[in-house]
Structures are given as structure tokens and as C-alpha cells.
Amino acid sequence: MPTFGPTELIIILVIVIILFGVGRLSKIAGELGSGIRAFKDGLQSEKEETEA
């Protein structure tokens, strides 16, 4: 499997910014972060329920 160097990653990032725009990318990143946070909170509450 080929590895991606810094040049390839920069090219991919530029293409993604052109396709989606900066505003939409920040919205997607925020939603992804809140989803990950909710997932971690769910795991934590599940762990607390099994301990009690």
C-alpha cells in the first residue's frame, strides 16, 4: 500500500477545499467533533452502568 507524503496530502487538501469550500469544511469538522464526543460520552455512561 503506497504511503502519502506531505506533497500528496497538500494536493488532496487543496482539492477538498476547492470542492467543498472553507465554510462547509468547518461545519463538517464541527459535526464530526460533536459526533465523536457523543460517542465517547456514550461509552463512558455504558461503562458506569456496568460498574454500578
Quote the pLDDT of residue 52: 61
**What span, in angstroms and rounded, lies between the C-alpha atoms of 46 and 42?**
6
Q: Kindly report the pTM of this predicted structure.
A: 0.57
Contact (Cβ atoms closer than 8 angstroms) between residue 22 and residue 14: no
Indicate the helix (H) or strand (E) that contains 8. helix 6-20
pLDDT tens digit sequence for 3-51: 889 999 999 989 988 988 888 888 988 999 999 999 999 988 877 777 7
Quote the pLDDT of residue 9: 92
**What span, in angstroms and rounded, lies between the C-alpha atoms of 21 and 27?**
10
Q: Which amino acid is at 43?
A: L
Quote the pLDDT of residue 32: 93
**What span, in angstroms and rounded, lies between the C-alpha atoms of 41 and 52?**
17
